[in-house]
Amino acid sequence: MSKHTIVVCDHIHEDGLNILKNTEDVNYVYAADIDKTALLDVIKDADVAITRSSTDVDEKFLNAAVNLKAVVRAGVGYDNVDMEGCSKRGIIAMNVPTANTIAAVELTMAHMLSCMRKFPYAHNQLKQDRIWKREDWYGNELFGKKLGVIGFGNIGHRVALRAKSFEMDVVTYDPYIPSTKATDLGVEYTTNFDDILACDIITIHTPKNSETIDMIGEKEIAKMKDGVILINCARGGLYNEEALVNGLKSGKIAMAGIDVFKKEPATDHPLLDLDNVTVTAHLGANTKESQKKIAVQAAQNAIESARGSSYPNALNLPIDESKIPSFVKPYIELTQKMAFLLAQSDKSAIRSISISAEGKIAEYLESLSTFAAVGALSVSGGEEVNYVNAQFWAEEKGIKFETAELAHNSGYSNKVIIKITTEKGLNTIAGTVFDEDKQRIININNFAFDIEPKGNMILLRNSDVPGVIGEVGKVLGNEGINIADFRLSRGKDAALAVILVDEKIKNNVLEKLVNLEAAISVSYAEI
């Protein structure tokens, strides 16, 4: 029997190690205790590597691992994995995204309770200072308080359920879920972010992406009630840390419970100097139970990928060019980009995704639909969505998928059309590929274009009246934003402009464009 070599590069729970030791077709190599230079010699024989945060799967690692088929990141984050490098070498990268869910939920509740009762400070006064002053520690109860939950996914909805057991009122903001997912649990659902800002306590549980970084800043904190409590056990940087410090110093924020920081380790962070903060060193996954689950799942994933039977929670998939014609690859990339753009242009909950095609590319609709799903759903799902779980993730959200082969009559050799129906309505996009690899968007919501799917894009739908281009240029010019390209398509009663700009666009700029008299709608996308 030929054996698959699995190298464990970092420390994981012994239950995971035992699975590897006791699997007959696995040659298990434990390399967690050797230095990272020596690891490069060991990794050359590996079929699969299991890592945590201590090992960088970088260019040196990948160059040494000449036989590597897959790498399993035993945890949620994968910042230490060179995803592009893995993809170029045909190495499948996987993570273990759900094993620490309960640990993160319970740490959130611990921070919430600690903030309400100021537990760490009361503890230190008695334990370290040996002072008995009960009058110093009048806290507050969770009972009857209103909790705002930003993000109602795996962790957020479990926090909400536990908060309800404390008889709290709970409201959630998550534009990417059906409202019934919250209301069926007795949780109020809102599409108005100000409803969250009016809560007594706010906790955030979103992926970290361009939409959620600095989601809570000076402007949002100013709208909050005096004495609000903020919790972040999700990702560093979701709260603007400078604004958070200022709010805590002023007393606008009574307390904050923080487990994650924008830059870690955060041993000299200004939050540590404040007396109204409870902090932990990114302990969201640090329970014995979660470490056991992570190790067991990582070991099982490594074995399955070594055998080639499946790639659970794959974050990338190599394209087998020996089985897929070369012309298909740019269409797969184009499909994902178009779906990603369309989902960014309308950030309300997705109800259905339809993908159709004409020409030879229609033979690969099944593959295209997977990449369309990843593109569309990663806007809301972030790191949770990958090529393996996208369809299942969609089913969980109640999103329908449809594919259709169209008659070949558009005049293009091949054409792909994506339709995404959201709570707000239907959006469509179409694209093709010229000269083998030149990807182009050729239609957006029935407006004809010829656009490369790349860059920072403002989509402005406006009444077709004189002066609009000048007004848009003036707004952007006043903000110091350089226009790289301006494409305008005219319809019967309106026009759609796709404006490529050199810089990322902030919400205040979009608000100024929305306020133009001729503007009908404005959205922004980054590809």
Residues classed as catalytic: 235, 264, 282
Closest among 126, 127, 125, 59 to 91, alpha carbons compared: 59
Q: Where are the alpha helices (DSSP H) in 283-436?
A: 288-307, 328-345, 365-381, 390-396
Q: Is residue 401 within 8 Å of residue 369, measured between CB atoms?
A: yes
HSE value, Cβ hemisphere, 13 Å, CA-based, for 69: 16
Q: Is residue 16 within 8 Å of residue 39, measured between CB atoms?
A: no
Q: Tell me how far CA of residue 39 lies from CA of 219, 302, 395, in angstroms.
A: 48, 18, 41
Closest among 178, 101, 99, 112 to 142, alpha carbons compared: 112
Judging by beta carbons within 10 Å of its beta carbon (0-12, 13-18, 19+), is residue 48 exposed, middle or buried?
A: buried
Q: What is the DSSP letter of 442?
A: E
The helices-and-strands tally (H runs, E runs) of the chain is 17, 22
Phi-psi region of 237 (alpha: psi -120 to 50; beta: other; left: phi over 0): left
Reduced to 3 states (helix: H, G, I; strand: E, B; else coil), residue 65 is: coil
* Count of Cβ atoms closer than 10 Å to residue 102 Cβ: 16
Q: Is residue 494 within 8 Å of residue 459, measured between CB atoms?
A: no
- Rounded to an integer, what distance in angstroms lies between the CA atom of residue 428 and that of residue 420? 6
Judging by beta carbons within 10 Å of its beta carbon (0-12, 13-18, 19+), is residue 57 exposed, middle or buried?
A: buried
- Rounded to an integer, what distance in angstroms lies between the CA atom of residue 485 and that of residue 494? 20
Phi-psi region of 234 (alpha: psi -120 to 50; beta: other; left: phi over 0): alpha
Closest among 76, 114, 110, 71 to 90, alpha carbons compared: 71
